[in-house]
Chains A and B, each alone.
Chain A
């Protein structure tokens, strides 16, 4: 039963402010992922919670108790490092037993706990090895084991699988999820990989240049990004973003991207919903799967020419040219014959996002 709360946390490295007024409440058993580019302050935030980094202002509360002045050892929090940080001169067994031995737990209980954790992580047969004789995935299992063995109040993970190769990453991702479901402890997980974040998190916290951008479930963050940064950071392939203008002709609304020859028709309610921000420059955002492509011309479809096709196996990413304007669309694999093919496309209004071009904030238009 552990809640972690950050309130008004500020942190400077010299003249550079790396955490800017961060407020975040993490519920018991929640799996929170801090997502952002390198240098956005996510790791510093994690280290501040762990007690490896001091903060200049604000409070860090664990179960309602301010801990920002406590040493790491007194916060009862476990951490898994990106570099694994296994003790190289100890065997796997000794590594996992270290936190227990350090607090003078008796031999029998230590042995029992270590073997239990090893069983959960399926590393029982590696207990006598040294870290140098392990593969990357096993090293990470040991590091997680060392964190789990003392049943800490909360688990912190700093890009724990960032150093593994792609296949192993996927495997470990599933394993971390399985462990969390089974053991259920409050977890803060730092990563720059949005796929990892989407697949693991109960809630994702997106940070950029020390500022919290959006907190929400993976679906929320994906479907309703609060600003352009979140919109473009989450999701792969990246969301299409273009400066656009909305116009009305003959009672019909249409959205024209900058450089495009023809506007996309939109439901009329768009005009009413955009009323508040009339006249401001707009940005249009649409994910590739929101661009619907057809071979035949139909009502609402705009002609386009296929430019580059990236076959990705389960689907293709097609760059469509509308005059000067380009949009990336996701199609069934092999749907577009080849570069230069004439196709027709429309935008799915429910998947279209409108942002204030100047501030990058979402206008909150949901169609």
Chain B
């Protein structure tokens, strides 16, 4: 028997005695949320779509002129923007790969009977719960060339992590990996513990070695949930702003959202930055779609 999704209001309840119907209560809960969403998310989204076709600058009183697709055309032909995109792509690949390798690896280590498993798991999740800004600020201290603990431990002397143009992006990625590997670990752990134990027993009886079992049984069965982790982390990495902005200001770490921020709030090119924001949105949607397609294919089996 299916359970009713909407329970009827108990006629003796306080809400009923105040003369409220089921529908009134439903509206009381839902309308504020919907209003909030419309005012702060959907309206700006559509409004900025409108701005992206104009030369509007929020810093002047000059009226916005409709310029058609000019903003999009110029942005897509701008080699500097493409540099920003390639920096972002590099960052996404390094950071997400790192998170998946570290997160899934730790999950594999944790997916067995070890003492204090719950405590260890909880402790490992801590980085994820910190604020981005805090993480950025104290990793800046850790990376410090003269008194940072990382150089001290690794014996690197006064190695410049954040002001070295080649290293800075990797330094940001390492911080991101430290912070978000636990997320991949958590999802992987859920996936790993969902693989039925009897399949491993069957594989043992079938004389499969541990590597063969891992690649033919474990990995394919965890793949769907691992894909979900990858989707989330790719989307997040693609729009990284705070970590990179706080840690360093190298041109080689100017990911697309930093460029977008500068364009919108330092150069006040409101119309053009709206167009750029839309280009980024479409790209993220496209990438996510590829993943989702693959995820559905994996889930079919």
Contact = CB atoms under 8 A, between A and B. Distances in A.
A87 B199 contact: yes
Contact of A99 (B207, B220, B221): B207
Nearest to B201: A52
A72 B205 contact: yes
B216 A98 contact: yes
Interface string B203-245: 1111111001000110011000000000000000000000000
B301 interface: yes
A124 B221 CA distance: 26
Contacts of B208: 73, 98-99, 102
Interface string A122-136: 000000001010000
A79 B200 CA distance: 13
A73 B204 contact: yes
Contacts of B203: 98, 102
Interface in B145-200: 196, 198-199
Contact of A81 (B198, B209, B216, B301): B198
A50 B203 CA distance: 12
A73 B201 CA distance: 10
Nearest to B217: A87
A98 B202 CA distance: 10
Interface in B100-138: none
9 contacts: A51-B205, A52-B204, A72-B204, A73-B209, A77-B205, A89-B301, A99-B208, A102-B216, A132-B301
A85 B207 contact: no
B203 to A, nearest CB: 7
A78 interface: yes
Interface of A: 50-52, 71-73, 76-79, 81, 83, 85, 87-89, 98-99, 102-103, 130, 132, 146, 150
Given A87-B217, A88-B221, A130-B301, A102 B202 contact: no
B205 A83 contact: no
A218 to B, nearest CB: 28
Contacts of A88: 221, 301
Query: Chain B interface: which size bin?
Result: 10 to 19
Q: Is the interface of A mostly helix, strand, loop or mixed?
A: loop
Interface of B: 196, 198-199, 201-209, 212, 216-217, 220-221, 301
B221 A146 contact: no
Given A85-B202, A89-B220, A102-B216, 14 more contacts: A50-B205, A52-B201, A72-B201, A73-B204, A78-B205, A85-B199, A85-B201, A87-B216, A88-B301, A98-B206, A98-B208, A102-B208, A132-B301, A146-B206
Contacts of A146: 202, 206
A102 B207 contact: yes
A249 to B, nearest CB: 63
A103 B207 contact: yes
A321 to B, nearest CB: 44
A81 B204 contact: no
B221 A79 contact: no
Nearest to B207: A73
Contacts of A79: 202, 205
Give the most central of B199, B205, B207, B301: most A CB within 10 Å. B205
A103 B301 CA distance: 25
B78 to A, nearest CB: 45
Contact of A89 (B196, B201, B221): B221
B204 to A, nearest CB: 4
Given A81-B198, A83-B198, A99 B204 contact: no
Contacts of B220: 89
A132 B220 CA distance: 16
Nearest to A77: B205
B301 to A, nearest CB: 5
B138 to A, nearest CB: 43
Contacts of A50: 205
Nearest to A147: B205
A73 B198 CA distance: 15
Contacts of B221: 88-89
A73 to B, nearest CB: 4
A73 B199 CA distance: 14
A113 to B, nearest CB: 13
A328 B275 CA distance: 89
Question: Which A-B residue pairs are the 9 nearest by beta carbons?
Answer: A102-B208, A99-B206, A85-B202, A73-B207, A72-B204, A89-B220, A85-B198, A89-B301, A79-B205
Contacts of A73: 204-205, 207-209
Contacts of B204: 51-52, 71-73
A102 B198 contact: no
A203 B216 CA distance: 38
Nearest to A71: B204
Contacts of B205: 50-52, 72-73, 77-79
Contacts of B196: 83, 85
Contacts of A132: 301
Contacts of A71: 204
Contacts of B217: 87
Give the most central of B201, B202, B212: most A CB within 10 Å. B202
